[in-house]
Amino acid sequence: MEPLVAAAESGLPVLGICNGFQILCETHLLPGALTRNESLHFVCRDQRLRIENADTAWTSGFAAGDEIVVPLKNGEGRYVADEHVLDELEADGRVVFRYLGGNPNGSRRDIAGISNARGNVVGLMPHPEHAVEDLTGPGTDGLGLFTSVLGQLVSA
């Protein structure tokens, strides 16, 4: 992980999905932790999310307030952090995705994804990569994350 941490700290866009979000927290690229779902059950469903921050490398193709639907599949998807960390994330606009239509795993403050201060590292529990083709997903809402980062890289 050392090369990835160094690259992220130098500005490389990094996206951690599901267990990848857990790893980003464990390596301290993102604060907090992912724990067992509050219900203690595995959850698998299409999940509505609201884009809270459209200023990251991964969400620049969206507008704040946009809503997307992507699959959620986890047993350890509950985002937790100390209250002061949650307050800091909220104050700094680092909550990137928030659950809508019910919190599937008990994540604090309905948080589905966060970013680092620079906005190049984003972690989220739901799976946007499974919503990039109408044939295999609930739609193509997840595609915007990948076109956002491509746009950022091309313009760099």
- Measure Cα distances from 107 to 48, 112, 140, 150 in Å: 14, 7, 25, 29
Distances (CA, A) of 95 to 14, 89, 124: 16, 6, 10
Gap between the terminal Cα atoms of the chain: 25
* Contact by Cβ (8 Å): 80, 33: yes
84/63 Cα distance (integer angstroms)? 27
Options 76, 127, 130, 133, the catalytic residue = 127
Q: Is 84 a catalytic residue?
A: no
Chain centroid to CA 25: 12
- Catalytic pick from 18, 25, 88, 90? 18
Q: Which of 9, 76, 129, 130 is catalytic?
A: 129
- Catalytic, 129? Answer yes
Catalytic residues: 18, 127, 129
